[in-house]
Structure 1
Amino acid sequence: MTYIAHRQQPANEQTLAQAELQQYINQQAQALAPEEPRVIDISFFDKEYYVGSKLIATVTHDDNDFVTQRWVVMVNGTEVHRAATPMLCHRYICTHHKAGSLPVQEPETPAATTGNEIMVQIANECENLGLELLDDGIYRGDEKLGEAGQTNGNWWFTRTDDATQQRIFCNSASDAVWLVSTDELPECADFLNEYLQYRPLEQMPPVELKHLLDSAELTAA
């Protein structure tokens, strides 16, 4: 009996050790396994796939005529897969994510200035001049004077008394708001030189060029 008990004890220890090892292996495998993508419906046709807080892919719909595989997987704004149903796109994303073969979604570069920051700058300049910034433009009392904004890093303004409503570029938010509110536009030469710093002649459409020249002629007069 003593001999049998002596033989069973190492076997029990070995079984326990194997169980602990298998548990450790399972835990490590679970830790290393890719997390299942989470799907957010943006619209009926558009979906975003996330792992944690990171966007890994999007699915959209191709509305062009004569297209048979209308559902498209996009990564970094580039088509990487096309299928006949959204479920096939879902399967593609999950399979390639698990295999590590899905292209890496690069984080978006944040804009240097957000829309809110732009509006705050314009609102501050309006306050300095005793003006009011509303949803549809800049006002003095009940009179709308025009609008100001920033596009691709360039400040611009439009005036209500300008029939063409073309955007005219300038140096800063303060310049844009002042030019909206003032009754005196810059001298012709200064006005043209400043405008051309932001908008070379060869990049202007004919309508914009005509508007600029007409404005300059009125200023000179």
Structure 2
Amino acid sequence: MATEGAELKAAEAGAAPPSYVEAKDVAPPPSYDSLFGQLKQAKENSDGNVDFVKTCCGILVGSVACTVCLGIFLAIPIAMIAVGATYLHDCPAERMIPIYLIVAGVFNIVSNILMIIRGKVNKRKEGEEEKKSGAGPEQLINCFLFAWFIAGNVWVYRTYDAWQSSNSMLDNFCDPTLYYFSFWIITSTYIVLGVLLVICLAVCICMCICGKKE
């Protein structure tokens, strides 16, 4: 709109229309209500790259897109609860595997819901209030989930070469659906973490390159 107005004034005055650089300079800045505007403001107010990345993570967590993704991720914990409850007594080789799925599924759902709520609350607050809009319960749950995840690694991976699915009467029997689901839930976590690590490294490299150019 600003560019059209500048061109119209130039036409009325009989002068040549402004150049792209001139038009760009008079264009209004992005609204800080938009995601791009919030990221731009975070870049201007950040004390450094680390602070900028942390602020961006907080903004993205509160964004609608992230909320939708978290809603989709709720399907995985629900599936964990369903599989664990269905095959609760079908893995004498390691009886903690179905229990691991149920407990991890329940606490992951609670953690995701708290994250969504915190993102919505933080979006409506500013300054110190935003920093104090506590993530205490969420942090406790995440600490428990981390410890529970380590325990799940032990239960699942130590059974890898010890279980069989042909004879349910033996003590080393485990339902294949239950075991493979548990195995790939844990293994896929490492795959996702690896991908995120590569992305973070790429972002850091890009930020360093852009910083040198500036």
- Give the number of the structure whose alpha-carbon radius of gyration is greater: 1
Quick check: TM above 0.5? no
Q: Which has the higher helix share?
A: 2
* Bigger proportion of residues as strand: 1
Between the two structures, name the one with larger relative contact order (CA 8 Å, sep ≥ 6).
Answer: 2
TM-score bracket for the superposition, by shorter chain length: under 0.3
The two structures have a TM-score, normalised by structure 2, of 0.24
TM-score normalised to structure 1 length:
0.24
